[in-house]
Amino acid sequence: KGDILDDYLRTDGVWILTRNKQFYKTNNEKECAEKCEAERNFNCRAFLFTRKKLQCLTLAENAKMAVMFNSMDAVLYEKKIYLLQCKRGIGKDYRGTEAKTWRGIPCQKWAEKTPHNPNHTPEKHPNAGLDENYCRNPDGDESGPWCYTTDPATRFDYCNIPECEVECMQCNGEDYHGEVSRTVSGLECQRWDAQEPHMHGFTLKHFPEKDLKMNYCRNPDGELRPWCFTTSPTKRWEYCNIPRCTTRPPVSGLGSQCLSGKGEDYRGRIAITESGNACQQWNMQFPHRHGWIPDRYPCKGLEENYCRNPDGEKRPWCYTINSSVRWEYCAIPHCDGTEQGIADVPTQVPLPEECYRGKGQSYRGTTSITASGKKCQAWNSMFPHRHEKTPDRFPNADLRENYCRNPDGDNSPWCFTTDPSMTWEYCNLKRCDDHTHEPAPNDPPATTAQNIGLTTLTTSDCINGNGKDYRGTVATTGRGRTCQEWSSQKPHSHKYFTPVTHPRAGLDKNYCRNPDGDVNGVWCFTTDPEKKWEYCEIPRCSASEHGCGKVPMRIERACEQYSMCDASPGSWPWHVSLRTSTNAHHCAGTLIHPQWVLTAAQCLQE
């Protein structure tokens, strides 16, 4: 906390129409917020800030009270206190719009003198928010917000304002649905539906039940507590500072002494695996080190050494006291009286396959142990390792349960492991000895590949789309003004757009750029003291002038979503094939620099 902007709700790219406003010149949003706090011409409910003009507008109305429309360069900040329709404590800071008493009688306006002559007026209490006829608590009445009524027989009465819920979390915050949107270090959270500055797979489409709204802190993957991706390019993600609720979470209901479903609510006292191994205490790290520590996961029932299912496995399990057997499932009686496990078996079970053909992309067996004996992590789980190899992203790869699979064309079936120190590993499977091979995608004809020349293209002085990726050297505006250097603050102060604030926007020297994604194209601050900024006139790239890493403007055969089709050689020129000494494809990579290739960490672990 401590940041003045914490008290405001931010909305990018909008403008609201209001007559009651004041204009100011400020360097940033915080200075504009200070102008709003100090406003004396009216009660400031919101402010608008424009980044290029550094213009600040304090507003008497917010989006609930005025017409709103899109505006690319503007950012709207609304005071949260005026958006709340509930009270905290006695409601002395309540600024909602309730305007009738608990009996339904309309309130009298605070500035009027009929039918009642008020003791509390806007003049006497300028900071009490006595606007219109809204319920308020200017005198700190212990019974909460009230108002003078329009009934001559009733001078005043109290209003029925609900209590605000306390922002707290139960357990590890898996069910937290609050509106905290800053991390423990004060960084603002990135919106879940945004992919900048950090790309990720935690979207509403892939996690529809996780309430990934706005940029609110959430815990979609069973972490220690709610977290979020940050808006800082140098900090990918961070935990949020949300206190635990003082009330105890609801206790598991019926069926907790026997197996129901996957047994996630099982709280019985069986502490031996199905092969007879005794279970290791959850609060012990010997003989097996692990991350399922009871203090970290207070609602998972990790008591003593009892079998549990904290991670959504097929059924309850435990680490064993046998140093050569890390973990095993437990034999828990089923709640309906049947033998354990029968209800868990799918109706169509593939025949067990203990070997794989080719690279194992067609393997559909049920092995879920790695070559070193580690247990596989479920494909739809994000604990202990976050990943993007999910069933909905690879619908044809049969990513069921935690079975070994090869969704990405690796050398053989593999899986993410439940060991926090080992992200992934190949599985304990052998290649079938029938010498049959899996069908593989056809390689492009050699003659076609040889005809594709590798050319090094210089950055063109033309733009694609709105020019956000333009890295040319034009440094004059469309009207001939010379551009000001992005790192300079003269003649125009512009602390918002600098190489430090936008390290990926290519703000070199004084070249035209588009760091804010302006729909009208590239621009720059000018060296003319009378003209702060202006657009640059740069021609659009023709179809034949695509640069390195740009998709050629050619018609490709359309692929349906999540399906595969052959790409024309050279059509994705930034892709790299990492190959073994025998020239076998091992992993894909991406050119991010003439001397650097970016690839997955798992590709380099061997």
pLDDT in tens, 487-514: 888 888 877 788 887 888 889 889 999 9
- Domain 8-82 belongs in CATH node 3.50.4.10: yes
**Is 191 in contact with 215 (CB distance < 8 Å)?**
yes
The answer to whether the beta carbons of residues 95 and 84 sit under 8 Å apart is yes
Q: Is the pTM of this model over 0.75?
A: no
DSSP code per residue over 493-538: --TTSSTTT-TTTT--TT--B-TT--TT--EEEBS-TT--EEE---
User: Which segments of the chain have a pLDDT < 70?
Assistant: 1-2, 165-166, 246-256, 337-353, 433-460, 542-571, 582, 605-606
| Structural domain boundaries in the chain | 8-82, 353-432, 461-540, 576-604
Q: What CATH number matches the domain at 461-540, 1.10.600.10, 2.40.10.120, 2.60.120.620, 2.40.20.10?
A: 2.40.20.10
pLDDT computed for residue 340 by the predictor: 44
Angle at 113 between CA 112 and CA 119, to 5 degrees: 100
Residue 569 has what pLDDT? 59
Measure the CA–CA gap between 226 and 176, rounded to whole angstroms.
8
What does the pLDDT read at residue 213?
85
Please say whether the beta carbons of 266 and 309 come within 8 A. Answer: yes
pLDDT, position 479: 86
Query: How many other C-beta atoms are found inside a 10 Å radius of the C-beta of residue 233?
Result: 13
Please give the pLDDT value at position 566: 61
- The domain 353-432 is placed in CATH, from the list 3.30.910.10, 2.40.20.10, 2.160.20.10, 3.30.420.40, at 2.40.20.10
Most distant pair of Cα atoms in the chain: their distance: 98
Asked if the domains 8-82 and 353-432 are classified in one and the same CATH topology, the answer is no
Query: Cα–Cα distance between 93 and 9 in angstroms, integer?
Result: 17
